[in-house]
Structures are given as C-alpha cells and as structure tokens.
Amino acid sequence: MMTHKQQEVLDNIIHSVQKKFPDVQLISTSELTANSYWITITEPFDEDKELEMVELLGEFSTDVLMDYGFDFQFVPVS
C-alpha cells in the first residue's frame, strides 16, 4: 500500500502528464516492493504523443527515484 507521500508524488506526476496529454488516465497501481510500484495508465491515441509521453514519464520517474527513493514503473496500455 502506498504511503501518503508516495500517493501525493504519483498524483502530481499524473496531473502534470494530463496537462500535456489530457486523454491519459490512471488505471491501476501495483506494489512490487515497499518503494517500487507498477503504474498502469492509458496511452494517447497518437503514436508520436505516446513516445513523447514515455520520454516525459521517464524523466519524472528518474527525478522521483533520485529525490524520494520511490521507483515508479509506468506502463501505458490501450
């Protein structure tokens, strides 16, 4: 189960992604370990936008790992 801080950080990431890609929605989260999560989200309908989103999520994931020690693995699905 996510801590309050982990949920807050994830919510901020999802909100930031939705500003640029409004059709992206959080589907589910699965805990892999205490600080590692598998985050399933919808993917944009446009392939170019999907690649752009994956790059953005990679940047967010790296920042969160470095700043907080949380490992969020984002998995876009259609």
What is the CATH architecture assignment of 4-77? 2-Layer Sandwich (3.30)
Residue type, 17: V
pLDDT, tens digit (0-9, with 9 covering 90-100), for 60-72? 999 999 999 999 9
pLDDT, tens digit (0-9, with 9 covering 90-100), for 16-55? 999 999 999 999 999 999 899 999 999 988 889 999 999 9
What pLDDT does 47 receive?
Answer: 86
Which ranges of 21-70 would DSSP assign to H, the alpha helix? 47-68
d(CA 27, CA 42): 7
What pLDDT does 56 receive?
Answer: 96
Domain boundaries, the chain: 4-77
